[in-house]
Structure 1
Amino acid sequence: MGAALTVPGVALADVPPPAQVGSRYETASGNSIGRDCGYSAPLPSASGQALWTFCDTAVINPAGTVIGFIGGSTAAVGSYVAGQVPTTLSELPTPPAAPAVPSTRGPAPFLPTPSGLVLPGTTTACGASGTQSYAASWITGLTRGPNRVISGRSGSGLLFLTYTNVCVYNNAWTTQSYGVTFYDPVTNQLVGPATVFPRPAAGELAWQYRLGSPTFAADGYLYLYTSLCTSSAFGACGAGTVALARTPWSSSTGWSTGSSYRYWTGTTWSADPAAATSALPGARPFGIDVRVFPGRGYVAIEQTTIAGHYRVWTATAPTGPWTAGAEAVLPGCASTTTSWCYAFIGHPELSTANSLFISLHHPDDQHVRVVAVPW
């Protein structure tokens, strides 16, 4: 990505939490960027720099009018330091365009628009003229690649993304397929994108196939998680399950082949996703995000209500045993006025010995915000 990415030091505008994740485009233009989920990972080839990926992105002028919308994903890069919220990210152009950073360019689509999606119950293409719908790839996880060769490149120099392909229509959506891709941050190229679980002949993609939170573990397997709330009332999840899947990365390219995925049953691994039992016993998830934090092992952030309640779970291995912390409320989420907070995502590179840094979509400003909570 050029020498600019290797410039050391902390961006002067980085601020302590709670704060919005910001970009140079916002500062230069006066516009704001409303975004959904926000995942981050350090760049393997540039110390102190990180890639951020976001879901649906809207550009909003100072009068509050939406002047641009990107359905799917956008990405940005910039410096980071533990204990601070980055506010000077540079928006990336659509791959494989060569980036020049730092930059004040506006956001651009990151993952390509998925093809083959349809309006539910029809054969009409999602996004067809007059349907008021759009097809999008929503990112569900981001991590560093494995220590092996990937398409002629060093895998440990790449980043790995998981995503679901959805059709959005009438303020709702259906999840129809699931895919993965590597990303080369030096050349701004997607490497080896693959649809792992294609659109079923009828209905939505089974929830067990909507995976995220990827981790390439030292035992040669890629581990991923997904969740389902099975009982809810009054904005709280009362019961649910967190499924754990794995696929080999060292002995084969299992990440790209759906038939190689196996699900944790509590005692063994099964090819049948319906056999999966909850890896987190007693889970109540509206959402789950699992990352490996240095010195703390596996950390799962579980959203339990639409009012911002969450629990932090910890384990030393992907299968557990998992231990749940006390339920708490993320700062600023109990008093929202327009909707509710969602997309609770952990950030190991920003967290400190005393504080866990979590990003979320905050409805009142339509922005990705980062807060810090005690471990």
Structure 2
Amino acid sequence: MRIVIVGAGQAAASMAARLRAKGHDGEIVVIGAEPAAPYQRPPLSKAYLLGQMGLDRLVLRGDDWWRDQRIALRLGETARAVDAARRVVATDRGEAAYDALALTTGAHARRLPAVMGGDLPGVHVIRSLADVDALAPQMRPGRRLIVIGGGYIGLEAAAVARKLDLSITLIEAAPRILGRVAAAETADMIRALHLAHGVRILEGTGISRITGSDRATGVALTDGRELPADLIVTGIGVLPETDLAQTAGLALDNGIATDALGRTSDPAIWAAGDCASFPWQGGRLRLESVGNAIDMAEAVADNILGADTPYQPKPWFWSDQFDAKLQIAGLGTGHDRIVTRPGDGRHGGSVWYFRDGRLIAVDALNDARAYMIGKRLIESGRSPAPDAIATATDLKALLA
């Protein structure tokens, strides 16, 4: 069986490795539009942007590994279309026939529209190696950076920029930062962290346009103010990459729709990672995380080889900002109660999410113990009472 994987990121690398580990001896071809071998994305907005990590440490596997595993890497090659009837992927360099096709095409950064100045030089996003290579030389001490978007990418970019001694203003249109992804209590901790490091945060503040003609010079706000800037980073989310799936006529639903096994509406085509949505708790879920990219890719690899085992996600995330680490287990969507616990230091603590009396997620800032215990409780299906979480002197006892 010849397996072709399109998209050369974390999910592709994990899937290819799993296929070999599970004994697949047939051809494996990985096609990626970027010239670099599969690499880690999380360090792009942190250690790599700071210059603390080079490309040699960013890549997931060395050249020798791909060669030894007999996995053909076709890099710098863009897949244009899928002919599902012929089982062929057409690229800008030719074709690739498959018996099974896996789409691990990931997601792309949302950009402000051109009419708002989103395409002006000096406006950056952080998603790919090329994005950060373009941004890094502009991050010079004393320059004025405006970050648009108060999600994790925007906050991580702001933290790195402050470390590099730039002047930072972060603008969030919603009433508060992290509005879509975290409780107000978590946002309060992160806001305090940034304010303590000199980041200016404007919440509930809309953007009317980016100013400038030949280059971005600032931001015009909906309240009439104009803020000058030397460069701008937009961190306003990502969109699943589904163009290739559309050419194959696949069903789409918040990404490439798969069944519980990771199979798409075409039985010969599978999907995993940021681009794929799957059945979950009576609806559909799409996760944008390293953990999901690895776990779903490995599950799909198993199912391509006949395991027939539904994918059971175990969501976990993290974000490094300044000297703080935010670790998240579970999904807090739909919570109806929050319990907070203080941490040991100035910037730290944990936020526990409950729905109908059941623990569904925990956010832990500089509190690895709370994260690990919360993660174990969630994954084992155990749920201490909210009051027990709030008053426990030893969280570990809750595991008994």
- Which of the pair has more CA radius of gyration? 2
User: What TM-score do the two structures reach when normalised by structure 1?
Assistant: 0.27
Higher helix share: 2
Higher strand share: 1
User: What TM-score do the two structures reach when normalised by structure 2?
Assistant: 0.25
